[in-house]
Amino acid sequence: MEFYDTIKDLVWDEVTASIYAKTETDVRRALSKETLTIEDFKALISPAAEQYLEPMALLSRKYTQQRFGKVILLYIPLYLSNECSNHCIYCGFNHNNAIARKTLTDEEIMEEIKVIKSLGYDNVLLLTGEYPKIAGVNYIEHAIRLCRDHFAAINLEVFPMKVEEYQRMADAGCNSVYIYQETYNESRYKVYHPKGMKSHYAWRLQTPERIAQAGIHRVGMGALIGLEEWRTEMAYLAMHLKFMTKNYWQTKYSLSFPRMRPAAGGYQPNFLMSERQFAQALWAFRIFDHDVEISMSTRETRNMRDHFITLGVTSVSAGSHTDPGGYAHPDTELEQFHINDDRSPKAMEQMIRSQGYDVIYKDWDRTLK
C-alpha cells in the first residue's frame, strides 16, 4: 500500500475541523506521552496548544539534545539550472515568468564549487528547475560526479524520478534527496500547479517511497507554507512521516516547511504563519518524532533563526544564493526567490557557537556507505 492509498479518502476540511476541535485536555495528554499518535500531533498544532508553547519548547530542546547533541549542521544550495517546464503560480522559476534562464556548464559548476569550498563547506545541495530536456537525469548524474571529489555529502532537490534513476544518483555519489509536496490538498493542488510535470499530485506524493526503495540514505519531505491552511498541511506531513518511518525504517528523514518569500511573478500567500505558529509546528514535530532532522533555510528571518538554534532545528543554510552561478557571478534576475537572512557562513558559525553549540560542515563520509 502506498501513502496515497492511506489519505485519498480523507476530506481536507474534515481534517482541519478535527484539529480545531482539540481541547486543552488533549494537549496535556499529548505532552505527557512518550510516543504520540497523529491525533496527539493534531492537538499540539491546534489553537488549544498556543498557551503551551513554553513546555513544548522545553521538550523540543530536551529531545533534540538527546538525539543530536548540541550540534548544528551548515549546508549550502548550489543551483544548477533555473530552466523549468512547470507553471507553479507561486514560483520565480515559473515557465511563464520573463526571467533570464541559465543552466550551468561543467566549467561554471567548477567555478561554483571553488567558491563554496572557500566558504568551508563539505556538504552541498544541488537544485534545478524541472526541465528534463535541458537538465535531466544524465545532466544531474554528471553534476554529482563533478562534485563528488570535492564534497563529503552531496544532496539533491530536483524533479521526481523513477526508482532506477534514483539508484543511478546513489551510485554517482548522492546521499540524500529532498522532495516537497508543496501542498497536500489534492483538491486545490492543480490550482497551484496547473501545467507541467509537477501538476501530477500522486506521482509527486509517491516520490519519497521511490527514493527510499532506491536505497538513498536520507529522504527530505515538507510543505510550502502559504498555499493552504498551515495546520492541516502539518497534519498531512505528520501522516506522511509516520507512514515512511513505519514502512521504510532503515532510511533517515528530514523535514522542512519554509514560508513563502517574494519571487518573480509577485504571488502573495493565501495563508500566513506567524513566527509563534512556526515555533508551534516545529516543536510539535520534534515531540512527535524525536529522531527526525529539521532544517531551516535562509527564507526565514535572522532573529527567528537565531532563536531556534537551541530549540529543535538540526541544520541551517548560510551564505545562500538561489540563482544558477550565483556564488561566482551573482545575478538576482536568475533567482528562484529572495533570501531573508544574508549572513555569511562564518557569521552564522559565530552566532551558533555563541549559544554553546558546535558547527559541522558535513555529517557523512563515503567510507560509511
pTM of the model as a whole: 0.93
CA gap 177, 175 in Å, rounded: 7
Chunked in runs of 10, what are the mean pLDDT values of the chain (369 residues)? 96 98 98 97 98 98 97 94 87 77 95 95 93 94 97 95 98 97 96 90 98 98 95 98 97 93 66 93 98 90 90 92 88 60 91 95 56
Residue 328 has a pLDDT of: 92
Residue 263 has a pLDDT of: 54
Distances (CA, A) of 263 to 244, 268, 338: 32, 9, 6
* Residue pair 323/82 in contact by the 8 Å Cβ criterion: yes
Residue 125 has a pLDDT of: 96
Amino acid letter, 167: Q
Distances (CA, A) of 151 to 187, 191, 213, 312, 359: 41, 39, 24, 26, 17
Residue 299 has a pLDDT of: 80
Residue entry with cell 510550502: 224
> Among residues 274, 294, 270, which one has the least CA distance to residue 284?
294
Amino acid letter, 315: S
* Residue pair 295/56 in contact by the 8 Å Cβ criterion: no
Residue 335 has a pLDDT of: 52
Residue 215 has a pLDDT of: 97
Residue 337 has a pLDDT of: 55
Residue 11 has a pLDDT of: 98
> Among residues 236, 252, 348, which one has the least CA distance to residue 296?
348
Residue 181 has a pLDDT of: 96
CATH classification code of 51-362? 3.20.20.70
Residue 333 has a pLDDT of: 54
Residue 247 has a pLDDT of: 98
* Residue pair 102/81 in contact by the 8 Å Cβ criterion: yes
CA gap 153, 187 in Å, rounded: 37
* Beta-bridge partner residues of 178: 220
Residue 367 has a pLDDT of: 45
Nearest-5° Cα angle at 115, 113 to 119 = 110
Residue 369 has a pLDDT of: 44
How many beta carbons lie within 10 A of that of residue 229, not counting itself?
20
